[in-house]
Amino acid sequence: MNRLTPQEVIQSLQSVLPRKDFIALHEPIFQGKETMYVTDCIHTGWVSSVGAYVDQFEQNLAEFTGVKKAVAVVNGTAALHICLKLIGVKTNDEVLIPSLTFVATANAVTYTGAIPHFVDVSEKTLGMDPYKLEAYLAKHTFFKNNEIFSKKSGRRISAMVPMHTFGHPVEMDKLLDVAQTFHLKVVEDAAESLGSYYQGKHTGNFGHIAALSFNGNKIITTGGGGAILTNDEELAQRAKHITTTAKVSHPYEFVHDEIGYNYRMPNLNAALGCAQLEQLPVFLKEKRKLANRYERLFSSVSNIRFFKEPENSCSNYWLNVLLLEQSDIIMRDQWLDALNQNGIMSRPIWKPIHQLEMYRDCPAMPLDTTMKLAGQVINIPSSANLNEGL
């Protein structure tokens, strides 16, 4: 096993990447029927929040992911917000989320009036650690009327939001066990895991409800967009209703039966989404090819490890992950500077949410692995077009 210097890592990466001055971390690819569908959408006049492409996109999403229902919305954050609301998260509840996630997971919890409660992650999946969570809840919560409460704050803990980090499925079966033991609702933050499978089933099928994102940097994009996935028909109906300003169907009158949200995805975005979804199988194949190439490249390197999909899962390899050795963590920013200066766009993982100003005082379990991984992870270019010409 040999140790690579940053310069050698750059050379290795350049040997498996296209010869370009700048390689983005992740860029959208429009090589299908995007222009055709979007143009057609404009010609129909139906560009806003109802239209045939929305219905089509929802149907295609449900088919691809194997869930009963998909509801398209304006973005992934809005999808998470509605998921949490619909499963009954209330003001002053606490909701268990990883600290190692995009800030939207915590923000969505806050929108419901609840408070994020941070959970440590596992080095096996980069997502919530079910074993640590189980031990923690057993020690720090009590039951009252069939619900759990935090001993420290006295607040109800109503749900958990496992997130499939960079597309790698989290250990769902054990998390569902924990959820059952402690009577927690489960929202999957599957924003990064469209095309990822756990034990042969698409992510988003395991909890009560799940959220997807189609932001510009995700595996497929609608410009901005998201979706709510669920196998519960009633939840799906509620999701559609509440994201459509809770408008009651009527031939001409405006009637709304609760405080709803204007969260529906516009038809124009759904048209783009229909074209993107058609290409998803190709994107997945290309991304796996790239991941395999990275894996081989670092297989005999001692100070850098390529993160492979966890056991029992098939990842979409949305963003590829290199892990620095713990002794090299202090050099992380030097590595990042070197990579970026050489046109290989690279980023560290998110700053753990519990360290952000607005979430600093939220409840948390010990977050040792979170802090370790926060220093180790480097994301490297992962677009589905990086195999071209190779």
Ligand X SMILES: *Cc1c(COP(=O)(O)O)cnc(C)c1O
Interacting residues with ligand X (CB under 6 A): 75-77, 101-102, 104-105, 163, 189, 191-192, 213, 215, 226
Helices (H), 227-349: 233-242, 267-298, 332-341
**CB nearer to ligand X: pick between 105 and 269:** 105
- Measure the CA–CA gap between 229 and 87, rounded to whole angstroms: 13
Q: Which two tokens stand for residue 232?
A: 């519960």
In the complex, least distance from residue 270 CB atom to ligand X, rounded to whole angstroms:
14
- Measure the CA–CA gap between 84 and 81, rounded to whole angstroms: 5
Provide the residue type at 109 as one letter.
V
**CB nearer to ligand X: pick between 342 and 346:** 346
In the complex, least distance from residue 193 CB atom to ligand X, rounded to whole angstroms:
9
**CB nearer to ligand X: pick between 129 and 148:** 129
In the complex, least distance from residue 295 CB atom to ligand X, rounded to whole angstroms:
23
In the complex, least distance from residue 365 CB atom to ligand X, rounded to whole angstroms:
20
**CB nearer to ligand X: pick between 81 and 185:** 81
In the complex, least distance from residue 236 CB atom to ligand X, rounded to whole angstroms:
19
In residues, how long is the chain? 390
Q: Which two tokens stand for residue 206?
A: 């395991």
**CB nearer to ligand X: pick between 100 and 179:** 100
In the complex, least distance from residue 310 CB atom to ligand X, rounded to whole angstroms:
17
Q: Which residues of 13-48 are buried (b: 16+ CB within 10 A; e: fewer)?
A: beeebeeeeebbbbbbbeebbbeebbeebeeeebbe
- Tell me how far apart the terminal alpha carbons of the chain are, to the nearest angstrom: 26
Provide the residue type at 373 as one letter.
L
In the complex, least distance from residue 321 CB atom to ligand X, rounded to whole angstroms:
14
Cβ contacts of 142 within 8 Å, gap of 6 or more: 148, 149, 151
Which residue shows structure tokens 């998803």? 280
Residue nearest to ligand X (CB): 76
**CB nearer to ligand X: pick between 104 and 297:** 104
**CB nearer to ligand X: pick between 49 and 105:** 105
**CB nearer to ligand X: pick between 207 and 226:** 226
Cβ contacts of 86 within 8 Å, gap of 6 or more: 209, 235, 238, 239, 242
DSSP state of 277: H
Please, are residues 110 and 116 in contact by the beta-carbon 8 Å criterion? yes
**CB nearer to ligand X: pick between 216 and 366:** 216
**∠ CA 121-370-2 to the nearest 5 degrees?**
100
H/E segment holding residue 375: helix 368-376
In the complex, least distance from residue 191 CB atom to ligand X, rounded to whole angstroms:
3
In the complex, least distance from residue 133 CB atom to ligand X, rounded to whole angstroms:
18
**CB nearer to ligand X: pick between 53 and 214:** 214
Which residue shows structure tokens 């933050």? 189
Q: Which two tokens stand for residue 208?
A: 């009560």
Please, are residues 254 and 242 in contact by the beta-carbon 8 Å criterion? no
In the complex, least distance from residue 269 CB atom to ligand X, rounded to whole angstroms:
11
Q: Choose among 59, 13, 69: nearest CA to 301.
A: 13
